[in-house]
């Protein structure tokens, strides 16, 4: 009986400690061309410890490509789906080749007339979304926005289901060099 009471007390104490340490959901926003959108995207990628799932319409920003490759080198499982039609330019092809040559699986999606998602899901906890394309134009010239919702796994699961459908529609991209 004494052991049972001690076990129950231990479980209750660990439950209280767990709930006390669970991070509260938070939301941050950023805008471009002011620079805060780009900063939030890079911070979101840098915060990844286990996984990054990305959906992108246009995909050319060198700093974002490097951040994704750095995450991969840290051991983060990175996978990307991009719109096939929106990534035919030389700069897009160079970015996709860089990503694939960095060991990151990338698929192109041509299932829809436009795969216009701009989303990063990190560690099954954090979602970055908004109008921000992952391009230099979005960083420096366009009026864009980014919303980052942290510590909300239920939202991340919803986005992961959406991401998985697009991944399943996609075709593996093979580097041309």
Which residues are catalytically annotated?
Answer: 116, 118, 123
Q: For residue 99, with 0-12 CB atoms within 10 Å meaning exposed, 13-18 middle and 19 or more buried, which class applies?
A: buried
Q: What is the DSSP letter of 134?
A: B
Q: How many CB atoms lie within 10 A of CB 69?
A: 17
Distance (Å, rounded) from C-alpha 43 to C-alpha 49? 12
Token pair 């035919």 in the structure block, residue = 88
Per-residue CA distances from 15 to 9, 22, 155 (Å): 10, 11, 23
Give the relative orientation of helices 90-101 and 62-73 as an angle to the nearest 10 degrees: 10
The phi and psi torsions of 107 (rounded to 5 degrees) equal: -120, 145
Give the CA count within 13 Å in the CB-facing half-sphere of 155: 18
């Amino acid at each position: 009986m004494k052991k049972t009471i001690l076990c129950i007390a231990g479980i209750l104490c660990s439950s209280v400690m767990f709930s006390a340490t669970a991070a509260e959901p938070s939301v941050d926003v950023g805008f471009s061309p002011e620079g805060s959108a780009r900063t939030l995207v890079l911070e979101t990628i840098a915060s990844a410890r286990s996984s990054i799932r990305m959906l992108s319409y246009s995909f050319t920003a060198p700093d974002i490509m490097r951040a994704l490759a750095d995450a991969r080198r840290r051991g983060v499982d990175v996978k990307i789906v991009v719109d096939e039609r929106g990534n035919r330019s030389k700069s897009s092809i160079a970015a996709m080749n860089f990503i694939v040559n960095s060991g990151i699986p990338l698929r192109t999606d041509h299932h829809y007339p436009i795969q216009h998602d701009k989303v990063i899901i990190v560690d099954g906890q954090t979602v970055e979304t908004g109008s921000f394309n992952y391009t230099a134009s979005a960083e420096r010239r366009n009026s864009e926005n980014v919303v980052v919702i942290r510590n909300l796994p239920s939202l991340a699961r919803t986005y992961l289901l959406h991401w998985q459908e697009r991944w399943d529609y996609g075709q593996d991209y093979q580097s041309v060099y």
